[in-house]
Structure formats: structure tokens, C-alpha cells
Structure 1
């Protein structure tokens, strides 16, 4: 493989992802890739665990596939900084961005590369698969959360998204904001975004407290984006909402609806610490 110009660069920011980065890379290596080459760039940022050595254990199987693996070890914990560093190292014609706790399905990379092979600016992602959580509360919550229109209309792009080089030229460095995936998605009009058929596994955090922290962080991210980049909101997808949708969803999964409401009420009643937490 020509390492200088692979078809696809996969950038994986990783902050203390030991135990997760290995399975993430294993899923990539199980991809049905038919040509063009792949480079994988793990950007460990501010890690105090075994993220870096765990990623390095996948170097041999990556090279056995004819792919190239880079593991960057940054002292500062910053996802935007990790994205910027990963892009500076990337040489692929298509740039894919993957969270370290997300696992792609085998067909995803090939489908993404195909739809982004043109020269016009284009953005793509796959179908979000929320696997069954381990804890009882998160399992109940997930039964309602899977119904949320965000996952079924447009191209959500949470946890995994990709774009070609002309698309990435829409902005300079990644800004220091919480919701980088929303920022990226809304830099493109709906007709510039494509959802391929293949999916990726996007896990929920485990337990009531963790769900509250994550939902609070998500809300802060949305508010921050609306304040800093209000013009981007015009690119959002239209989705069902309002009383009728809520009533229908609650009837389909009443206990799950109560779990969802409990998390939402806890978010409104409390205040976040402002510290980093996983983005689900």
C-alpha cells in the first residue's frame, strides 16, 4: 500500500479509553475493505491509563492488512486538539472521525469511501445501532431513547462521521466546543449529507447518574453551538416532535418513557461540574 495517499484516514481521538480502544480497532480491522488503503490514527490526549499501549498491540494486525497505524500521544486532554492533530497527520482522500468507544460494522468503511469519492463537498455517516446496555436502568432508558427521531431522520453522525477533502475545507481548525459532531454535521446542508446502509455500534453509558451527566453535557453542547454558530442551525433536519409524538412513544414503551423523563428532570434540577464526561 502507498502510505502517502490512502483512500481513507480514520482519526480516533482517545482520552483514557483503555479497554475500549482495542475493540474499536478490532472492529475496524474486521472491515470489508476492497481497495485503496486505510490509515488509522489514534490520537491519545491526556491519557493516564493504558490507552496508548493497548492501541500499539494492534499495530501488527493492522500492518498485516496492508494498512498503516499511527498512535499519537498528546500530553493535553482536548478532543478538538486531538482532532486537529489527527488531521495534520492524515493523508487520506476521505477523512473519517470515530469515537474510541464506537465499533463499526464490516461494510461501513467501504460504503463511506464510495459515497465520498467525488470532488463536490460531501458528508456521510452510517446507521446508529445502540447495543443493549448492561445495567437495568440504562437498558430501560435505551428502549425509549432508540425511538428518538434524531436517530431516524437525516444523518445523525454521532460517534462516527466522514467527509471528503473539499468538504473539510468548510472551516479551519476545530473550535473548542463540546459538540464537535453536531458542528461538523451542520456545516453541510441536508442534501450534502448521505446516510449509508451500514451501521456502527454507539453505546450508552451505564446507570442513572452517568446518563444524567451525559445528557447535561449534551444540552450544554447544543446551547453552546446555538450561541456561537447560530447560522448553522438552518442546516438541521426537520423531525417529528411535539405532544403527539411523545404520547405515541410513551404508549409504546411506558416504563422506558418514565426512565427518560427521570433523567430529563434530574438534568433540569442539577448543575454540571463542567468536567469531562463521556459523550453519551
Structure 2
């Protein structure tokens, strides 16, 4: 019996990123025997040529036996796009991918193999942060990538996936900021897996953008905690200890200062987000 992996890709004004994202998907290794893939791109509220660029990949996906579907929505909003993608998806396994992420060739196959189960399971890849342009961003990233949230568990930023039984744990996506936090916390730590294959995820550039995005991320976590407090029981116990932060700071004082400056500025009223979906670019 043939089974399907559905990759759902919401995209809002992603003209600069969509070709790279779809090119990486199209270059993926074959899925396990008996599996096919469909890629569902949901351009939402776009004012650029994201949808046209996505449709241009149809023949290349067809040549490798994958189905590409581009479903435009006039209304912007990531959660609406996720719900639309889920409504048309046929997959036994569902992967949710950001348009600025580049998957490595083995990632989809490893996620599919891990989630080819009747049990509720969640999986993500191993994040690799794309090269940064600005020195401050490089310093911040160097420290941030040594924290337990990044180095352990399955954080899920950029891409996450789940089995059919896992996706059945809720209906429509709620209208919240942090879909990845909500999805991850619907699974216990024992139900979550990080596979070895990686993906490239871009860090936003510059102090002000890092503050805005960090503030949005914090607001997203707080929102999930307020609306779905029962999910907090599934939170990772990977908050960095003071001793670990001190060791990392002594090893990389410049990185620590950059990270601390952003953390302190997040509390300042000077860096209000332009919208609840602001990604800093």
C-alpha cells in the first residue's frame, strides 16, 4: 500500500526564498519504499510573485514523481495557511516547513521513516544556522547555538513533522503566534525525536531585528502558556542553568555580551513589533 508524506509550506511574500526552498525539497533523497510525497505551497496575502515562482517548479517535481500543489489565499496569515494546507493534504505523515528553510537531502526520508508508525510521534531535524552577514549577528548566533534549546531535543523551528496519530491530537490550528511551540508541546519529550539529518535556517540580521524577533518568540511562548496551560507539562527541562551560562560566557565573552544585550533590550518598549508575525526581514 502506498503511503504519502505531505509537506505543507505557508508562504507570505517569499519571492526571495521560495526557489531555494523548493529546490532543496526537489533534491531530496528518495523516500522509504512505498512512500510518495506531495508538496503543498500556500501563498497567503502575497504582493509579490511567490505563487508564480512556486508553480514554475511543477514539472521538476513531476519528473521525480512528486506532486506539487500551489493553493493561493488572498488573506494573509500563517495559521490560516496551515489550516488550508491540512484541508487539502492527503499525507499519512505531515511536515510543516518555513519558506526560508533549506532541507538537506536525507532529511525528509529520515523524518518519514521515524514517523511511519501508528503511534502519535513528533520529529524534527538538526538545525544548522545559515552564515550570517553582520558581526553582531554572528556573535549572538555563536552563543545562542550553544544553549540547550538548540543543542538538545527537537526544537522544531523552521521545520517539524508528525505522524497521523500525532496530528489527530487537535483539529484546526489555533490563531496563535507560535505554531511550532504549540505543536511541539502537544507531545511529551518521549514522543519527540530529533533525526540526524539537518536543515539550514537563517538568523535575522542586526541588533534591532534580533530584538523584535526574540520579543515575538517570547510572546508566542507566553500566549501558548496562557491559552493552553496543560501543555506546559510537556515542556523540555532544558532551561540553561546559571552555571552553564557562566561557563559559556567565560568561553565566549563577546558572544555572551551580544546575547545579553538582546535579552535586555527585549524588555524595552523601544522595540515594538510591527506585527505579530514580524520575522525581522
Q: CA RMSD in A?
A: 1.6
Aligned residue among 14, 18, 36 for 2:15: 18
* Alignment-derived partner of residue 27 in structure 1: 24
Alignment size in residue pairs? 277
Q: TM-score, with normalisation over the residues of structure 2? A: 0.95
Of 185-194 and 27-36, deviating more is 27-36
**1:277 to 2:272 alignment:** no
Q: List aligned pairs for 1:192-271, cutoff 5 A.
A: 192-270=191-269
C-alpha distance in structure 2 between counterparts of 1:254 and 1:140, whole Å: 10
Q: TM-score, with normalisation over the residues of structure 1? A: 0.95
C-alpha distance in structure 2 between counterparts of 1:264 and 1:163, whole Å: 32
CA-CA distance at 1:273 after TM superposition: 3.6
Q: List aligned pairs for 1:1-280, cutoff 5 A.
A: 6-34=3-31, 35=33, 36-270=35-269, 272-273=272-273, 275=275, 276-278=277-279
C-alpha distance in structure 1 between counterparts of 2:63 and 2:42, whole Å: 21
- In structure 2, the CA distance between the partners of 1:206 and 1:187, relative to structure 1 (3 Å rule), is same
C-alpha distance in structure 2 between counterparts of 1:101 and 1:233, whole Å: 28
Give unmatched runs, 5+ long, in structure 1.
none
Runs of 4+ off more than 6 Å: none
Q: Is this contact kept in 2: 1:125–1:194, CA < 8 A?
A: yes
Offset from partner CA, 1:121-151 (integer Å, 9 cap, x none)? 1111111111221222211211111111101
Offset from partner CA, 1:200-239 (integer Å, 9 cap, x none)? 1111011111111100100110111110011101101111
Q: Is this contact kept in 2: 1:6–1:39, CA < 8 A?
A: no
C-alpha distance in structure 2 between counterparts of 1:135 and 1:63, whole Å: 39
Q: Is this contact kept in 2: 1:7–1:113, CA < 8 A?
A: no
CA-CA distance at 1:240 after TM superposition: 4.9
